[in-house]
Amino acid sequence: MGNRGKKLAFVFPGQGCQRVGMGKNLADNYEEARRVFEEADEALRFPLSELCFYGPEEELTLTRNAQPGIVATSVAAFAVMRSEGIIPDIVSGHSVGEYSALVASGALSLEDAVRLVSIRGQLMEKACPPGVGGMSAVLGLDRDSVVVVCEEACSVGWVEPANYNSPGQIVISGDQAGLEKARELCLAQGARRVIPLKVSGPFHSKIMEPARRALECELEKVNFRTPSIPQVMNVDGKISRSGARIKESLGRQISGPIRWEDCVREMWKSGACVFLQAGPGRALTGLIREIQPEAEALAFDGSTPVDDVLRFVREV
């Protein structure tokens, strides 16, 4: 791909990027995207596409709806790129974005992906009683320091790393006492800011263990094929070519940390210099530039003209 033969990575976003109207431009303008939303609606037996396009926002932001909505929108964006002859050399996704990546790599059908993430969202909601805890983003403190802070903060509660997003951004999960103590310690260690996140619970933490066990039962019912495109998994930041190993990783991921920085470094190590985010928002492009400043990154969710994206991919 590209005039200089640089490898292309497709990356797929996770929860938090959802917004009312996502995917509508894609479905309005591209038959390939429209078919993706129709298939997702049929798989879930309810009009997910209507919820994505028109809301209401309070319904769309529910974890059980946001996750399949993000996957459908991301796969729709991928389908448009594929129809234009743009095929990635490697893929990865952030948290629930792994399911979008699995569809792109051919390891999982769209029908199974949206069904699984709908169940995953319900299990995550069930595992998080209101007020049990939350998440905070730590800015400007290195990974080792955050790990030590979390260990120390467990003297008053519990808290643990949840997302290693970039060298300057690590998200932690915990109960309120643990999070507050970790905030105090992080700032004392030199963190620029510690920002509470608007989430319904402490995702990617030990509180998700019941959800992990239930999800593993659901994963066992699904056939995972060997991916036709290499996929880097969140649990270890390594390429996986085994359907069985991917299935195991998806189970571990729901209650363990997302190693996004490691994923990006692995893609770069494999030769990927150009990164295209397929799906809502553009959060991953910023993280990629923090992790690998030499990388070229662009987001495509239907709002950017396809011709601009094609020019970027082919000329960069």
Q: Report the distance separating Cα 151 and Cα 160, nearest Å.
A: 8
> Which amino acid would we find at residue 68?
P
Q: What is the CA radius of gyration of the chain?
A: 19
204 is an active site residue = yes
Q: Per the residue annotation, which of 74, 92, 95, 100 is the catalytic one?
A: 95
Structure tokens at 222: 């699904």
Q: Is 108 exposed, middle or buried (0-12, 13-18, 19+ CB in 10 A)?
A: buried
95 is an active site residue = yes
Q: Report the distance separating Cα 23 and Cα 55, nearest Å.
A: 12
How does strand 231-232 pair with strand 90-93?
A: parallel
Spatial contact of 284 and 263, defined as CB atoms under 8 Å apart = no
Residue 301: name the closest of 17, 86, 109, 5 by CA.
Answer: 17
Q: What is the DSSP letter of 138?
A: E
Q: What is the maximum alpha-carbon separation in the chain?
A: 56
Structure tokens at 158: 């519990």
Q: Per the residue annotation, which of 94, 204, 240, 249 is the catalytic one?
A: 204
Spatial contact of 38 and 1, defined as CB atoms under 8 Å apart = no
Q: Report the distance separating Cα 275 and Cα 235, nearest Å.
A: 20
How does strand 272-278 pair with strand 296-300?
A: parallel
Q: Which residues, other chains included, contact 222 with Cβ-Cβ below 8 Å and sequence gap of 6+?
A: 108, 112, 116, 247
Spatial contact of 164 and 195, defined as CB atoms under 8 Å apart = no
* Residues acting as catalytic residues: 95, 204
